[in-house]
Homo-oligomer: A and B are copies of this chain.
Amino acid sequence: MSQTKYSIGVDFGTESGRAVLVKVDNGKEVASSVYEYKDGVIDEFLPDTGIRLEPDWALQNPADYIQTLEKTIPALLKKSGVNARDIIGIGIDFTSCTMMPTDKRGTPLCLMDKYRNNPHSWVKIWKHHAAQPEADKINEVARKRSEKFLARYGGKYSSEWFFSKSLQILNEAPSIYQAADRLIEGADWIVLQLIGEERRNSCTAGYKALWDFDEGFPSPDFFRALDPRLENIVKEKMSQDIYPLGKKAGGLTAEMARLVGLLTGTPVAIGNVDAHVSVPAATIVSPGKMLMVMGTSICHVMVDRELHIVPGVCGIVKEGILPGYYGYEAGQSGVGDIFAWFVENCVPGKYWKEAAGKRVDIHRLLEEKASTLRPGESGLLALDWWNGNRSVLVDVDLSGLLLGCTLETRPEDVYRTLIEATAFGTYKIINTFEENGVRIEELYACGGLPEKNKLLMQIYADITGREIKIAASSQAPALGSAMFGAVAAGRKKGGYDSIMEAARKMAHLKRESFRPDEKNHSVYQGVYAEYEKLHDYFGRGINDVMKQLKSIKMTIRGK
């Protein structure tokens, strides 16, 4: 057992799948490989057909998932020269809720000629937003029946989640619903492909499918109230055996071993979700530490020993992130997206010229200019709701606001203000957690933004008044999956017996962290007081102008 051991993590994303091969003793990344999905996000036409999708649809082709395995894992072996014998485990993570209907054997209906022309036979991914009426129905029925579970989801079940999508299939394509022997998450489907057995994971079951460690799924009564045909959805099309994270799901089948070039029986971990699997990859194995997965949006994930009902969270799931803890998830639906919007739509020609002249990226130029400003100096304030508000208000119909403009306002003033607004959004989430009993002492970050924008990270530290530590890996989800792979193998096979142990050895932080400047924090406290006032005024229905304008817009566009 003195030979170096390795594990593999595969991260199934929105546009591509990525695999990494890491050393089990120290988490070092030895090789990585990316497969861009051939069909990408399917949101206009079903592949190889003229069948047009309705607005707000977003699908994937499960064949792309298999291709990811088939292309990337052999590439890891080839690049690294590592022998398959020394690969002790595999872990996987997926975007979520990503769900599909399959037959008894797990074959996706969309891969069968009989069904493939029906859009509902395909994989609905997280950003499929066409099931809002179904989500509304679920919320209405749950409220009417005073279902206790709603509180664990910030009072609102999302259109992105499992039963909204299932109910949409039933409503719009009852024959597909009928034909589906299983409705299954992508994460669990991939594990099924790898080991030949279904092993539903507690993370997606809890965060997306209303499952609770102590209570199980909602009752058949609840589902019947939604639609009589849905009464036995759990018994008929799902599974009530939910497996906790950090366990071995099973061993690689001979067929899959051949396909990817690994040994039959290689341990495979229970499936997981990209944001949640990043928690231990960012060294977090205890309460008080909130991870921000920062990219186009921010996902806030952390654990606590107790259940505290926090209004406006995305979800609170026992065993949903780390064994033995309640996992908390909150989020902001627009962050990097807002800056990209600003760069695309609001940066004047002369700035582009200046950036070209200096041979710097336009984001870098804006960062440079914005970093010369002091907190409070722009006189501007924004509400960061360009893409609605996911937490604390849970309202997609809210919109962005910019206030304090004068004839002296410059692009860098607005750019910095947008960054500050998203940081205030995070601060509001942190404060809401703390007000409801969840202590947050430190912040951790991973994802694209922390590497790209130091000014942004400093502003987040200054506004929240907390140190922010940065995950060393730029592929935190894949690393996290590899860590769970090592845990699936267990200590006897050269891995670890718990994800905590794996985190201590395999997860690392960057040397550099961002510490709050007390003077800046104090100025920002004054601005944040104003942010909170606007947040409540526009967000809690005192002035519903954002909804009124949206409603006028929709009426006009519908004409």
Contact = CB atoms under 8 A, between A and B. Distances in A.
A179 interface: no
A516 B144 CA distance: 48
Given A349-B349, A377-B556, A549 B404 contact: yes
Interface in A370-402: 374-381, 386-387, 399-402
Interface string A344-359: 1111110111000000
A411 interface: yes
Contact of A556 (B344, B375, B406): B375
Nearest to A384: B405
A386 B407 contact: yes
A76 B410 CA distance: 43
Contact of A353 (B349, B402, B546, B549): B349
Contacts of A344: 348
Interface residues of A, number: 54
A104 B407 CA distance: 41
A403 B548 CA distance: 12
A150 interface: no
A553 interface: yes
A260 to B, nearest CB: 38
Interface stretch (A24-32, A117-125, A194-202, A529-537): A529-537
Interface string A316-360: 000000000000000000100110010011111101110000000
A376 B555 contact: yes
Contacts of A403: 399-402, 538, 545-546, 549
A400 B405 contact: yes
Contact of A399 (B351, B406, B549, B553): B406
Contacts of A545: 381, 403-404, 530, 533-534
One complex includes copies of this chain to the number of 2
A409 interface: yes
A538 B381 CA distance: 14
A407 B555 CA distance: 19
Contacts of A84: none
A557 B374 CA distance: 9
A549 B524 CA distance: 11
Contact of A410 (B345, B351, B534): B345
A409 B352 contact: no
Interface string A403-435: 111110111000000000000000000000000
A523 interface: yes
Contact of A334 (B337, B346, B407, B552): B407
Nearest to A340: B407
Contacts of A353: 349
A549 B380 contact: yes
A527 interface: yes
Interface string A508-532: 0000000000000001001100100
A307 to B, nearest CB: 35
A406 B548 CA distance: 15
Contacts of A530: 545, 548-549
A405 to B, nearest CB: 3
B526 A552 contact: yes
A145 interface: no
Given A378-B553, A386-B406, A399-B405, 10 more contacts: A338-B407, A345-B410, A346-B348, A346-B411, A349-B351, A349-B352, A379-B552, A399-B406, A402-B403, A533-B545
28 contacts: A337-B407, A341-B407, A341-B409, A344-B348, A345-B411, A348-B349, A374-B556, A375-B556, A376-B549, A378-B553, A380-B549, A381-B545, A381-B549, A386-B406, A386-B407, A387-B406, A387-B407, A399-B403, A399-B406, A400-B406, A401-B403, A402-B405, A404-B545, A526-B548, A527-B549, A530-B545, A530-B549, A537-B543
A-B complex: 7 closest residue pairs judged by Cβ atoms: A400-B405, A379-B553, A349-B352, A349-B349, A376-B552, A401-B403, A530-B545
